[in-house]
Amino acid sequence: QNAEKIKLKHGSHREGKRTDAIMQKWRGNGLGQFIHWGLYAIPGGEWNGKQYNGAAEWIRSWNEMPKPAYDSLIYKFNPVNFNADQWAAIAKDMGARYVTITTKHHDGFCLWPSKYTSYTVANSPWKKDIMKPLVDAYDKAGIDVILYFSIMDWNHPGWRYDIKTRADSIAFEGFKKFTRNQLIELLTMYPKAKGLWFDGTWDKSWIKQAKFADELEAEMRKLRPGLIIGSRFRADEYGKRHFDSNNVLMGDYEQGWERKLPNTIADVHGNDWDCVMTIPENQWGYNKAWKGHIKTSTELIEMTAKAVSLGGNFVLNFGPKGDGSIRDQEKRLALEIGDWMKVNNEAIYNCGYSGLEKQDWGYSTKKTRIDKIYMVVFNIPVSGAYRVKLPAKTAIAKSYLLADQNQVLKVEEVHTNEYFVYANPASQSKPFVIVLETKKKE
Ligand code: FHN
């Protein structure tokens, strides 16, 4: 469409994907881990013997939860079983290549000793910085760290949902300074962090700050060249979020895929994106009583493959307990995913959209810059024949199972550029990968 473009001062500042090495690395990560950890992990979704129905990290907003009682959880924050190296090892074994960690969620509690508020780890019985050992441990494990930061802050006296009066405006100006200070502080204290993952940016008060947020973003990018910031940070001057008033993505990647995945490549408009996913239903922070459907490792692997096949990354959330340990169910799932990744990660890392028509057996990914296609199989055809349609002038040079490269598979061209690959995997209970090495057709 040739719709006339609106002149925007605070819209997107780039069209198309970033091409620098830092972003290419991010794009090729495939699988990530999300960590939601804060004071909410202590009640774990329960207060006075009653179970909160919402997400555990939102318990402060529950009528039954007295705000002073929540806020004084800071005096109970003493995670004696916290071990940053163990967390990083779990992520590494799972195959995660980046991690997003909540430095501060909506409750305003800071996992780093911020100088700008007293509501931090420094004033808890634990006293010590949590972010530093985490950033160091994940970095040592070769996992990139992204800092999650909630703009909405229930603890700050200047926070407003909207700005209606002059008093609101004065209060919010103070809040904006505080927010800027904290962000510069985080980037200065943790220079290894590769990006910021913003949240809590949907309220009117923040949406009205197009100029401030745009300038702050520019300042942060200048301070840390290559910094990755998604589409949740700021709105344009018309209050449009994620995509500006000209429908151009704001930020380096689309951050709208929360607990859902796109279905076709058209859904992602040629942008980078990642999907953040919970293991149970909508629970991010630790909840003692997971309810409803708990995703299996096979489902999570399928989501990972689907995300990569549509050019995105898949980020799986963990909610460590108040004492710093990670629940057994999460550890088990991480191990199961990791077992699969150890054999099949070639189909996930540095892979993206294959350009091939979707087939019923699963999802296809393609290695960047190499003529290799990976067919990640979730539905086994009774016939043993896996249909694949290649672009014109492309042929299959060789096909084999990623788990057993000696098993060369029979390939038959059934129509021009349409093939059957015949496979008989040893185990039919796990997803598996068929590799296609392609070549130019003579
Ligand atoms: O309200 C939060 C929620 O608690 C959680 O942090 C998720 C993660 O993407 N973000 C918000 C909801 O969009």
Dihedral class, residue 435 (left if φ above 0, else alpha if ψ from -120 to 50, else beta):
beta
- The verdict on 336 and 389 lying in the same domain is no
- 301 to 21, 45, 323, 341: CA distances (angstroms): 27, 27, 29, 9
Give the end of a domain, one of 333, 350, 367: 350
Classify residue 426: in a domain, yes or no.
Answer: yes
Whole-number Å distance between alpha carbons of 373 and 64: 54
DSSP code for 117: -
Q: How much is the ipTM here?
A: 0.99
Looking from the CA of residue 105, the nearest atom of ligand 1 is: 6
DSSP code for 165: S
Q: Is the CB of 409 under 6 A from ligand 1?
A: no
Spacing, Cα 276 to ligand 1 middle (Å): 9
Average of per-residue pLDDT across 71-86: 98
Q: What is the pLDDT of residues 102-160, one digit of tens each?
A: 999 999 999 999 999 999 999 999 999 999 999 999 999 999 999 999 999 999 999 99
Look at residue 1 and tell me whether its pLDDT is greater than 60.
no
CATH label of the domain that carries residue 391 = 2.60.40.1180
Classify residue 119: in a domain, yes or no.
Answer: yes
Q: Is the CB of 57 under 6 A from ligand 1?
A: yes
pLDDT for res 355: 96
> pLDDT band at residue 442, thresholds of 50, 70 and 90?
confident
Look at residue 347 and tell me whether its pLDDT is greater than 90.
yes
- The verdict on 93 and 220 lying in the same domain is yes
> pLDDT band at residue 369, thresholds of 50, 70 and 90?
confident
Whole-number Å distance between alpha carbons of 269 and 300: 24
Give the residue whose CA is nearest to atom 9 of ligand 1.
258
The closest alpha carbon to 244, from 233, 259, 229, 260, belongs to 233
**Percent of the chain at pLDDT above 90?**
95
- The verdict on 29 and 87 lying in the same domain is yes
Look at residue 420 and tell me whether its pLDDT is greater than 90.
yes
- The verdict on 433 and 284 lying in the same domain is no
Average of per-residue pLDDT across 224-246: 98
Whole-number Å distance between alpha carbons of 414 and 396: 13
Q: What is the pLDDT of residues 269-300, one digit of tens each?
A: 999 999 999 999 999 999 999 989 999 999 99
Spacing, Cα 278 to ligand 1 middle (Å): 10
Give the end of a domain, one of 318, 350, 382: 350
- The verdict on 214 and 65 lying in the same domain is yes
Q: Which domain holds residue 405?
A: 354-440
Q: Is the CB of 274 under 6 A from ligand 1?
A: no
Spacing, Cα 241 to ligand 1 middle (Å): 16
Spacing, Cα 347 to ligand 1 middle (Å): 29
Tokens of 137: 């441990």
Tell me the residue type at 228. I
- The verdict on 333 and 204 lying in the same domain is yes
Q: Residue for token digits 């060249």? A: 225
- Considering its fold, how many domains does the chain have in total? 2
Tokens of 187: 């980037």
DSSP code for 391: P
Spacing, Cα 155 to ligand 1 middle (Å): 17
Q: Computed from CA positions of residues 214, 218, 223, 224, in that sequence, does the dihedral angle turn out positive or negative?
A: positive
Give the residue whose CA is nearest to atom 10 of ligand 1.
199
Looking from the CA of residue 36, the nearest atom of ligand 1 is: 6
Spacing, Cα 38 to ligand 1 middle (Å): 13
Sort 336 into a burial class: Cβ within 10 Å, 0-12 / 13-18 / 19+. Answer: middle
Identify the weakest region by mean pLDDT among 117-126, 313-322, 432-441.
432-441
Look at residue 235 and tell me whether its pLDDT is greater than 70.
yes
Look at residue 198 and tell me whether its pLDDT is greater than 70.
yes
- The verdict on 191 and 306 lying in the same domain is yes
- The verdict on 165 and 284 lying in the same domain is yes
pLDDT for res 244: 98
Classify residue 393: in a domain, yes or no.
Answer: yes
- The verdict on 329 and 364 lying in the same domain is no
Tell me the residue type at 178. F
Spacing, Cα 106 to ligand 1 middle (Å): 9
Tokens of 67: 């705000």
- Tell me the Cα Rg of the chain: 23
Average of per-residue pLDDT across 407-423: 96
Average of per-residue pLDDT across 223-244: 98
- The verdict on 323 and 433 lying in the same domain is no
Give the residue whose CA is nearest to atom 1 of ligand 1.
200
Give the residue whose CA is nearest to atom 5 of ligand 1.
284
pLDDT for res 441: 84
pLDDT for res 2: 54
Q: Is the CB of 258 under 6 A from ligand 1?
A: yes
Looking from the CA of residue 285, the nearest atom of ligand 1 is: 4
CB 17 within 8 A of CB 271: yes
Classify residue 77: in a domain, yes or no.
Answer: yes
Classify residue 2: in a domain, yes or no.
Answer: no
Three-class DSSP category at 219: helix
CATH label of the domain that carries residue 268 = 3.20.20.80
- The verdict on 410 and 291 lying in the same domain is no
The closest alpha carbon to 31, from 275, 313, 413, belongs to 313
Give, for ligand 1, the residue of 39, 199, 254, 259 to mutate: max count of ligand atoms closer than 8 Å to Cβ.
199
Give the end of a domain, one of 316, 350, 384: 350
pLDDT for res 175: 98
Spacing, Cα 199 to ligand 1 middle (Å): 7
Q: Is the CB of 411 under 6 A from ligand 1?
A: no
Looking from the CA of residue 317, the nearest atom of ligand 1 is: 8
Whole-number Å distance between alpha carbons of 300 and 314: 9
Return mean pLDDT, the chain.
97
Q: Is the CB of 276 under 6 A from ligand 1?
A: yes
Looking from the CA of residue 57, the nearest atom of ligand 1 is: 4
Sheet holding 31-35, edge to edge: 228-229, 195-199, 144-150, 98-104, 31-35, 313-318, 273-277, 254-258
